[in-house]
Amino acid sequence: MKKILFIFFICALQSCTDFDDEAIEISGEFTHLSDNCGADTETESEESTTETETETDTEVEEVSCTEIVTFIDETTAEILIDGSDTAQIVNYAIYGKNIIFTDDEGIEIELSFTIVSETSIIRHEDSETWEKTEEEEGEDTVDEEG
């Protein structure tokens, strides 16, 4: 009787973990090109500041138009988002098809995704699709073509 209960328990446990077989592995670098890269803020700062302040603001306004998330390992990622020019190392966890990011103190940051495939994720905050970059393969490089 104990053997039957043990087998039943193992089968029940296996049925609860079947979703792991369908899990999509996320790795590498995903990028997104920002639509309004600094256009509005640069105009406003030029209109509302003096010439000296505009020079300083222009230096600050030089931001990246490409947002990047690089999955370093199973729990760590490097992010460059919202026009920042400095990358930040953060933690992440995958819950089903959702990716949630936290800072080093475990506080959730305003960045999360739904996994569509191994090469595509959708950001929850703006519903924009981010695509995986394939730099490592080098199949379509200029040197090979000509």
pLDDT by position in tens, the chain (length 146): 555 444 444 444 444 444 444 668 899 999 999 876 755 544 343 433 333 344 444 444 546 789 999 999 999 999 999 888 899 999 999 999 999 999 999 999 999 999 999 999 999 999 999 999 986 554 444 444 44
What CATH topology corresponds to 26-37+63-134? Lipocalin (2.40.128)
The answer to whether residues 85 and 63 touch, using CB atoms and an 8 Å cutoff, is: yes
pLDDT of residue 38: 59
pLDDT of residue 136: 53
What are the CA-CA distances from residue 20 to residues 17, 23, 25, 86, 116 (Å)?
6, 5, 10, 35, 16
CA distance linking residue 63 with residue 100, whole number of Å: 25
For the chain, the domains span 26-37+63-134
C-alpha count within 13 angstroms, C-beta hemisphere, residue 76: 6
Supply the pTM of this predicted model: 0.63
